[in-house]
A = this chain, B = another copy of it.
Amino acid sequence: MSKTLISKTLATPALARFTAAAADRNITRASYFVVAVGVLMMVVLTVDPAYQSMHRWVDTLLWACLAFFGCEWLVRLRRAVLTQVGFSYALSFRGLIDAVAVIAVPLAFVGGADVKSAWLLGIVWILKVVPGIPGLRQLRRVLVVERGPLLSVLVIFLMVLFLASVAVYFLEHEAQPVAFASVPAALWWAVATLTTTGYGDVVPITPLGRLVAAFVMISGLGVFGLWTGILATGFAAETRRDNFLKTWESVSRVPFFAALGPAAIADVTHMLRTMDLPARTMIIRKGQVGDCMYFIAAGEVEVDLPGKKVRLGAGAFFGEMALLGNNLRSANITTTEVSKLLVLDLVDFRLLMARHPELAATIDLEAKRRAQENR
């Protein structure tokens, strides 16, 4: 396709909507689907009997995937250029992945690779999923904050690896001249042992070699334990932080809490969890056991009372009755639009009531008013 042709194509009204949605959820989902199809086809490609019986389908789908990614890239590039961030998109991780996903396979064809090998390069498509991984930012922060100790464990890992390899090469070389032919071969054994994978293709047979191997295995457990301990520690801190950040803003926008002053808001934020819900989602089902109450940070819900329907908007709360005595939910409650709720767990409800009696009074009053109204 020549550049002029692409410009023309993009100018047609049919593609205008596609352009608008390019950075959108729908496109992203479609993109994941295409990645899945593409990877599946790549897998089928290498299974000879399957490929021979349906090679037309496979080829067509692979080309279709490539075409989709090509369009996607161009659309995104155009958008980025229009909003004057073209250069920064093209060099971002996402932009580079998008580019490589399009260019890799054709380049291999041009370079003279055989058909199968060329298509296998399409495995880079799988990297398109990376920006959408939930909680990836959180994981990355843990790795950054704990990089000191993690690096330290890695260095210890490598040191044990090399020391053990040379030792076992020394001890086993004569007994098994083929399996332990060189230090790289011993390294292969050492890495499989230290990670407790233990293929068993190369195994020491001399008593001293086995003694070293036992030490390596136990070191493997130790390294692993340290690794996990560090990650667990980092993760616990990060989880609290992440929740605080997500919740803080919503909390300070709810008038009910806003009156408390910053110290209490910080305190309350640690007790709440945000929940984003699409429209027409049932939050509370009548007759269920309730163990939390909700504050509406944004959006609206509908309470399905007998005989009438009540709507509650941003700033209101509901579900408190199940926490104040009667455990069963007394009405269905559904969102009417996209809503952001703050969830207060039973445990934290009690702590909150204990620490901020003025809130307790407000909730209690409202609960009584509602109970009377519904009678």
Residues of A within 8 A of B (CB): 39, 42-43, 45-48, 117, 120, 123, 126-127, 129-130, 133-136, 138-139, 148-149, 151-153, 155-157, 159, 162-163, 166-167, 169-170, 181-184, 187-188, 191-193, 195-201, 203, 207, 210, 213-214, 217-218, 220-236, 239, 241, 244-245, 248, 261-267, 269, 291, 345-347, 350-351, 353-355, 357, 360
Q: Which chain B residues lie closer than 8 Å to A217 at the CB level? A: 191-192, 195, 197
**How many copies of this chain?**
4
Q: Which 5 A-B pairs have the closest CB atoms?
A: A229-B232, A197-B198, A199-B200, A229-B231, A263-B354
Q: In this complex, what residue of B is CB-closest to A146?
A: B239
Q: Is the CB of A224 within 8 A of B226?
A: no
The 8 Å CB contact of A123, one of B162, B220, B248, B264, is B162
A148 to B226, CA, bound (A): 16
The CB with the most chain B CB atoms within 10 A, among A48, A153, A217, is that of: A217
Whether A120 and B229, one on each chain, are in contact in the complex, defined by CB atoms closer than 8 angstroms, is: no
A127 / chain B contacts, CB cutoff of 8 Å: 159
Query: Cβ of A224 and Cβ of B228 under 8 Å apart?
Result: yes
Contact of A155 among B133, B169, B198, B226 (CB under 8 A): B133
Shortest distance between the CB of A277 and any CB in chain B (Å) = 15
Known contacts A126-B159, A200-B200, A228-B224; is-contact A262 B350 (Cβ 8 Å): yes
Minimal beta-carbon separation of A150 from chain B (angstroms):
9
